[in-house]
Amino acid sequence: MTNPGSRLILIALLVTLACGIGCKPSNNDGTSGGGGGGAVAGKRQFLSMGTAPVGGAFPVVGGAIAEVLNEHKGTIDWKVQAKGTKGSQENIRRLASGELQLALSNAAITYFAVRGEAGWEKAYEMRSIVTLAPNVALFIARADSGIQKISDLKGKRVIVGPSGAGFEMFVQPVVEEHGVKWSEFTQLNATQSGAVDMLGDGAADAAFLGGAVPTASITQATSTFNVQFVPFDEDARLRLIEKYPFFHEANIPAGTYKGLDSEFKGLNVGSMHMITSADQDEELVYQLTKTIWENREEIAGKHPAGKAINEKNAARRTGTEYHPGAIRFYKEIGLIESETASTQPVAEENPNEAEAE
């Protein structure tokens, strides 16, 4: 006759063994954290890509890239999901915590983040994968606001971007170079689509809007009410380009927006680029970079920003180092000549050509 106590002990041992086999967390479950674990061929890699709020180009471009990556897997069986966020600043923090594995960011915001400057409490170890479309931004104002130039923003209600997105990192240098102190106007926060609503309702006088050209929010504004395109002072614009590696000349052709009757001498205030954490797996980043490059025309077919993935722009210098996996691929195709050229692509200029190709 079997001892009841022995039977209970045997059952307990079997349950413990089963849990040890089936319940133990595994590093090979197909997920990918902040990096460092190593990508395994044939294992599903779930990759979350942070974008931004709706109204700008980030969510659309991020969605297009995710779709193409999911349709053209490399040797690694990844599943990429584009996720809406508050934008670049949140994306960088969530990359650092491992909540995201990829993100779109503004190059100006990343530039300051990796240096721990301009309000960042520490340096964040971010690396670039590919430089995407120029973020061609400008101030637009209601035609009845009395704002004709950037210095007229003094005393006005100005939308400077979504709360927590970090747009002040490139808006503040712009206004200050035009002689306007940050304290001399009222800063308001809104998404790009929200900014258009506030301008239309008279709740704001001007807004700093932009992205890939054409930008949906500016198109929406010009079709809703009369808009004043506020010009940059040319000397101030050139000084900004000289001072910061992420600022570039980027002009907007006449006719791009309703009411824009002549070319607008604009400013790329920090290209959109895809970034990851410095410790992300090199092979994974190599395969992602390769797949994006080889299917760039398909991305461009989903959004014009994909046209910027070309020889002149993909490895463009923005002030943030490229990830070793990206460097490896760019060296193979001749966009980067050596390891020391990780932020010095062979073709450096012109950002306008990058957008047009």
Average pLDDT over residues 240-258: 95
pLDDT, tens only, 53-79: 886 789 999 999 999 999 999 789 999
Residue 337: per-residue pLDDT: 80
- 10 Å CB burial of residue 197 (0-12, 13-18, 19+) is middle
pLDDT, tens only, 288-313: 999 999 999 999 999 888 999 999 99
pLDDT, tens only, 192-225: 999 999 999 999 999 999 887 888 899 999 999 9
Task: For residues 15 and 13, give the distance between their C-alpha atoms in angstroms, rounded to a whole number.
Answer: 6
Tokens of 60: 């659309």
The pair phi, psi for residue 272, each rounded to 5°, is: -65, 130
Residue 18: per-residue pLDDT: 45
Which residues face 275 on adjacent strands?
A: 103, 128
pLDDT, tens only, 152-184: 999 999 999 988 788 999 999 999 999 999 999
Residue 41: per-residue pLDDT: 60
The H-assigned helical ranges of the chain are 4-22, 58-71, 88-97, 107-115, 168-177, 192-201, 216-224, 234-243, 282-294, 296-302, 324-332, 351-356
Residue 25: per-residue pLDDT: 37
The pair phi, psi for residue 314, each rounded to 5°, is: -55, -40
**Does the predicted model carry a pTM greater than 0.75?**
yes
**343 has pLDDT over 50:** no
Instruction: Specify the residue for token string 């809104």.
Output: 190
Instruction: Specify the residue for token string 């508050």.
Output: 86
**23 has pLDDT over 90:** no
Four-CA torsion 287, 288, 291, 297, nearest 10 degrees: -160
**39 has pLDDT over 70:** no
Task: For residues 294 and 306, give the distance between their C-alpha atoms in angstroms, rounded to a whole number.
Answer: 12
CB-based contact 38:281 (threshold 8 Å): yes
Task: For residues 115 and 244, give the distance between their C-alpha atoms in angstroms, rounded to a whole number.
Answer: 14
Task: For residues 135 and 113, give the distance between their C-alpha atoms in angstroms, rounded to a whole number.
Answer: 18
Structure confidence at residue 262 as a pLDDT band (50, 70, 90): very high
